[in-house]
A and B are shown apart, each in its own frame.
Chain A
C-alpha cells in the first residue's frame, strides 16, 4: 500500500500542481484584467479532495483491502451480465423501443425537448459513422449536410408551403447531392488533407447560408417554418380529411423517434452488407481494396452521399421542430460535437454511438449549473475517456461481424 502510494503519489502531486496552474488563469482572470486566486483555489481544492478520495479507494482496492466488499459485488455483476447476455438481442431491442415509445407519457415537456435533441443527434452520429467509422474518411464539415437539409425544408415550407413529409425525401436527396459535390473533389485526398478540405467545405456552406441574403435571409435566419402536419378523417360537414399541424412536442418526439429508428435500421443493414464490407476494406487499405476489385471511387462517393442522407433527414426535422433556422446552428463546433459523439460512443458501434449522443446531450443538461465550465469538463471527460477507453463507451465488437454471425 505504502509502496504503491509512493509510486503514484509523485505523479499525482505533479498532476495536481499542473492542474492548478491550468485552472488559475482560466478562472482567475477577470474581464477588467485583474487577477484573483481565491476562486481558482477553491475549485482546485474540491478537485483535489475528490480525486484524492478516488485515489485512496483505488489503492485500497488494488492492495486487496476492499476484497470483502468487491468480491461478492463482482460476482453479482458477472451474474447480471451473464443473464443479460442470455436474453437475445432482439428482446433488448424491443424493450428499448417500448421504453422509447412510452417515454413521453411519463415525462415533462423539458424532457421531451432533450430527448428530441438526442434523437436528432443519433441520426447525425450514425450518418457520420458511415463516412468516418466505416469508410474511414475523416469529415470535419459534416454539419453542412444537416444545414442543407434544414434550409431545404425551411425554404420549401416558407415559399411554397410544401408539406414536411414531401420535403423530407427532397431534403435527403439534396443533402446527398451536396455530399457528392463536396465528396467528389476530395476523393483523391487522404488523411489530414481530407480533414482540412472537408473542414473548409463545411465553412463554405455556412458562409453561403450566411451571405446569400436574397435566398436565406442571411444571419437573421428564416422564420415561420411550418411544423409537420397530418390529415385526419373528419365527419363534420360531410366526410373529408382535415389537415392539422403537429405542434405538440410529443408528436414531434415520435417523428424524431421514427427518423432515428429508420436511421438505425438503415445503417445496421448497410453495416452488414456487401457495401459495408467494401467500405471497411477502403478504410483498412485503399490500394489493396482496389486490387481486390472494389470500386473505391464510387464507394467513397456513396459513403459521402449516404452519410449526408441521414444528416439531411435530421436537418429537415430540425427546421420543422424549431420553426426557425439560421446559419448559427451549423458551425464547425457542431461538426466537432457530432464527431465527438461518434468517437466517444465507439466508432462503428451503433449502440455505442447512441449512448455517446445521449451522454453528450444529457450530461450537459444535467450539469446546467456549471454552464461556465461545460467545455472545460467536456474536454477533461473526453481526454479521460480516450485514455481509459480508447475504443469508445461501447466498442464495436469488430467493426463488422457479419460472416461470423451468419454461421453462428
Chain B
C-alpha cells in the first residue's frame, strides 16, 4: 500500500443547523483502493461525502486531498482537482439529454478531443446510454439513470470517485452490472473509489477496506474481508 493517503479525513465534524450529523469522522483512502463506508440509515454516510465535496461545511477537523487541505476549497473547484461524486439518488439533470448530462460532467474541461474520447469510452462502458443519447435523462429507467450518473462523473476524469449508494432501488441484475463497472473503472484506470453503501454485503465484497459509521462516528475499520466475517457486523448489517 502506498505510503501517502490520497484522501484523508481528520476528526471531521459537520452539522445541519442544530443537528450534528458528523461527530469526528476520521478515515484514510489510499491511491487505487476501493474503500467502503457502511452504516445504517441516517448514520452520516451521505453527509461524509457531501462534506468532502464542499457542499456541507466542516465545523471542525480537516480534509486532506493529495496532502493539501481542501476544507476551505469551494465545491466547484474540486472536480478540477480530480474529486467527483456520484450522489445519492443519482441526481441527473432530468430535462437535459443523456448527451448533455455527460457533457456537463466535463464542464470544467476545455480539451475538446479529450472530452470526445472520454465520451466514447463512457458509451462503450454503457452502450445503453449511447442508444438513448438524445433522450431526456428523466425518461431513463432507474438503472440507466444510475449508469448516466456514473458516466457523468467519469467525464470529469476523477482521480477519486465518491459513490453514494449506487445500488439503491435497483434490481439485482442491474446492481451486479453496476458493480462490475465500478471494478473495471478501478482496475483499468486506477481510479480510487470511496463507496458508500447500505448494502454491506455488496460493498464489502467489492472493497479492499471498510469503515463502519454509526451516528456520525467511525466505530470500526478493517480490511473488507475481515469485516465481512465479523460476527457483530454480520448481525447488525448483514441481517443474520
What is A's interface to B at a CB cutoff of 8 Å?
A: 274, 277-278, 280-281, 284-285, 287-296, 398-404
| B92 pairs with A295, CB closer than 8 A | no
| B104 pairs with A277, CB closer than 8 A | yes
| B75 pairs with A278, CB closer than 8 A | no
From residue 148 to 173 of chain B, which have CB atoms closer than 8 A to chain A?
Answer: 152, 156
- Considering the chains assembled together, what is the distance between the CA atoms of A288 and B107 in angstroms? 12
Closest chain-B Cβ to A315's Cβ sits at a distance in Å of: 31
| A293 pairs with B76, CB closer than 8 A | yes
Instruction: Answer whether residue B15 sits at the interface, using C-beta atoms and an 8 A cutoff.
Output: no
Smallest CB-CB separation from B155: which chain A residue? A292
Main secondary structure of the interface of A (DSSP, over half): helix
Closest chain-A Cβ to B53's Cβ sits at a distance in Å of: 6
From known contacts A288-B91, A291-B75, infer whether A400 and B100 are also in contact, taking CB-CB under 8 Å: yes
From known contacts A291-B75, A291-B85, A293-B108, infer whether A403 and B103 are also in contact, taking CB-CB under 8 Å: yes
Per a CB cutoff under 8 Å, which of A277, A284, A401 touches B94?
Answer: A284
Closest chain-B Cβ to A404's Cβ sits at a distance in Å of: 6
| A289 pairs with B104, CB closer than 8 A | yes
Contacts of B91 in A (CB 8 A): 285, 287-288, 291
Closest chain-B Cβ to A299's Cβ sits at a distance in Å of: 9
| B76 pairs with A296, CB closer than 8 A | yes
Chain B: interface residue count, which band? 20 to 34
- Which interface residue of A274, A293, A400, A404 has the most chain B CB atoms within 10 A? A293
Per a CB cutoff under 8 Å, which of B77, B84, B85, B99 touches A403?
Answer: B99
Contacts of A285 in B (CB 8 A): 91-94
- Considering the chains assembled together, what is the distance between the CA atoms of A372 and B103 in angstroms? 52
- Considering the chains assembled together, what is the distance between the CA atoms of A50 and B187 in angstroms? 71
Smallest CB-CB separation from A396: which chain B residue? B95
From known contacts A287-B55, A293-B76, A293-B79, infer whether A281 and B97 are also in contact, taking CB-CB under 8 Å: no
From known contacts A287-B55, A291-B87, infer whether A277 and B79 are also in contact, taking CB-CB under 8 Å: no
Closest chain-B Cβ to A227's Cβ sits at a distance in Å of: 44
- Considering the chains assembled together, what is the distance between the CA atoms of A398 and B92 in angstroms? 16
- Considering the chains assembled together, what is the distance between the CA atoms of A52 and B53 in angstroms? 61
From known contacts A287-B55, A398-B136, infer whether A277 and B103 are also in contact, taking CB-CB under 8 Å: yes
Closest chain-A Cβ to B154's Cβ sits at a distance in Å of: 12
Contacts of A292 in B (CB 8 A): 79, 84, 104-105, 107, 152, 156
- A sample of 26 inter-chain contacts (CB < 8 A) reads A278-B104, A280-B95, A281-B107, A285-B92, A285-B93, A289-B93, A289-B104, A291-B53, A292-B79, A292-B107, A292-B152, A292-B156, A293-B78, A293-B108, A294-B76, A295-B74, A398-B95, A398-B96, A398-B136, A399-B95, A399-B96, A400-B100, A403-B99, A403-B103, A404-B97, A404-B134
- Considering the chains assembled together, what is the distance between the CA atoms of A84 and B149 in angstroms? 39
Contacts of B95 in A (CB 8 A): 280, 284, 398-399
* With A281-B93, A281-B104, A292-B84 already in contact, 20 other A-B pairs whose C-beta atoms are closer than 8 Å: A277-B96, A277-B107, A278-B104, A280-B100, A281-B96, A284-B93, A284-B95, A285-B93, A287-B55, A288-B92, A291-B75, A291-B79, A292-B107, A292-B152, A293-B79, A295-B74, A398-B136, A403-B100, A404-B97, A404-B99
Instruction: Answer whether residue B80 sits at the interface, using C-beta atoms and an 8 A cutoff.
Output: yes
- Considering the chains assembled together, what is the distance between the CA atoms of A290 and B87 in angstroms? 11
| A280 pairs with B93, CB closer than 8 A | yes
Contacts of B107 in A (CB 8 A): 274, 277-278, 281, 292-294
- Considering the chains assembled together, what is the distance between the CA atoms of A280 and B92 in angstroms? 12
- Considering the chains assembled together, what is the distance between the CA atoms of A10 and B90 in angstroms? 46
From known contacts A296-B76, A404-B99, infer whether A288 and B55 are also in contact, taking CB-CB under 8 Å: no
What is B's interface to A at a CB cutoff of 8 Å?
A: 53, 55, 74-80, 84-85, 87, 91-97, 99-100, 103-105, 107-108, 134, 136, 152, 156
Closest chain-A Cβ to B120's Cβ sits at a distance in Å of: 13
- Considering the chains assembled together, what is the distance between the CA atoms of A274 and B91 in angstroms? 20
- Considering the chains assembled together, what is the distance between the CA atoms of A287 and B93 in angstroms? 11
- Considering the chains assembled together, what is the distance between the CA atoms of A404 and B78 in angstroms? 29
Contacts of B97 in A (CB 8 A): 398, 401, 403-404
- Considering the chains assembled together, what is the distance between the CA atoms of A402 and B97 in angstroms? 10
Smallest CB-CB separation from B53: which chain A residue? A291
Smallest CB-CB separation from B74: which chain A residue? A295
Smallest CB-CB separation from A291: which chain B residue? B85
Closest chain-A Cβ to B148's Cβ sits at a distance in Å of: 11
Closest chain-A Cβ to B92's Cβ sits at a distance in Å of: 7
Contacts of B78 in A (CB 8 A): 293
Closest chain-B Cβ to A133's Cβ sits at a distance in Å of: 11
Contacts of A281 in B (CB 8 A): 93, 96, 104, 107
- Considering the chains assembled together, what is the distance between the CA atoms of A94 and B79 in angstroms? 43
Closest chain-A Cβ to B100's Cβ sits at a distance in Å of: 6
| A288 pairs with B108, CB closer than 8 A | no
- Considering the chains assembled together, what is the distance between the CA atoms of A281 and B107 in angstroms? 10
From known contacts A277-B100, A281-B104, infer whether A290 and B93 are also in contact, taking CB-CB under 8 Å: no
A-B pairs, top 7 by smallest CB distance, nearest first, are A293-B79, A284-B93, A293-B108, A288-B91, A295-B76, A290-B75, A403-B99
Contacts of B156 in A (CB 8 A): 292-293
- Which interface residue of B55, B95, B99, B104 has the most chain A CB atoms within 10 A? B104
Contacts of A288 in B (CB 8 A): 87, 91-93
Smallest CB-CB separation from A402: which chain B residue? B100
- Considering the chains assembled together, what is the distance between the CA atoms of A65 and B84 in angstroms? 61
- Considering the chains assembled together, what is the distance between the CA atoms of A382 and B79 in angstroms? 44
- Considering the chains assembled together, what is the distance between the CA atoms of A274 and B75 in angstroms? 19
Closest chain-A Cβ to B6's Cβ sits at a distance in Å of: 19
Contacts of A400 in B (CB 8 A): 96, 100
- Considering the chains assembled together, what is the distance between the CA atoms of A127 and B77 in angstroms? 29
Contacts of A290 in B (CB 8 A): 55, 75-76
- Considering the chains assembled together, what is the distance between the CA atoms of A403 and B100 in angstroms? 7
